[in-house]
């Protein structure tokens, strides 16, 4: 249950060579991530976002298959969080979204994301 000042969101994360941690559940040794440029990660997340926005893909399905975050096993669901719990660019983007909206590309130390506010 959310308290006031909290949001609920899901996200899709694509890591790249500049990400603070180079491993993920899909790439445990980080070799693929280390070989991915930021531009390639942006191109991938842009294509993913476009497919979701036109109804070609469902956010949760894509998150489960392609997100580099362990939240992928929950369709990208991060649950509820408040200010100061996420990286600032991620937090700022999430708090500006209306429920059901999907963000533009958000760049953090973890990689590039798209965020869907769910609560």
Residues 6+ apart with CB under 8 A from 54: none
Catalytic residue among 10, 24, 67, 113: 113
- For the record, the structure tokens of 73 come out as 């096993």
For 103, the domain range is 6-117
Q: Which of 24, 67, 69, 103 is catalytic?
A: 69
| Domain assignment present for 1 | no
Domain count, the chain: 1
In the annotation, is 87 catalytic?
yes
**pTM for the structure as a whole:** 0.94
- Which residue among the candidates 10, 11, 16, 67 is catalytic per the annotation? 11
Compute mean pLDDT per 10 residues along the chain, 119 residues long, and list them: 81 98 94 97 98 97 97 97 95 97 98 98
CATH number, residue 91:
3.10.50.40
Instruction: Establish whether 16 is a catalytic residue.
Output: no
69 is catalytic: yes
């Amino acid at each position: 249950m959310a308290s006031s000042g909290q949001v609920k969101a899901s996200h899709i994360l694509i890591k790249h060579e500049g990400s603070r941690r180079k491993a993920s559940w899909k790439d445990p040794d980080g070799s693929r991530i280390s070989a991915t440029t930021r531009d390639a990660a942006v191109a991938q997340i842009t294509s993913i976002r476009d497919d979701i926005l036109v109804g070609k893909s469902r956010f949760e399905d894509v998150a489960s298959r392609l997100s580099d975050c362990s939240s992928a096993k929950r369709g990208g669901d991060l649950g509820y969080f408040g200010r100061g719990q996420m990286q600032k660019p991620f937090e700022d983007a999430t708090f500006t979204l209306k429920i059901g909206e999907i963000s533009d590309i958000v760049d953090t130390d973890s990689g590039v994301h798209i965020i869907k506010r769910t609560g």
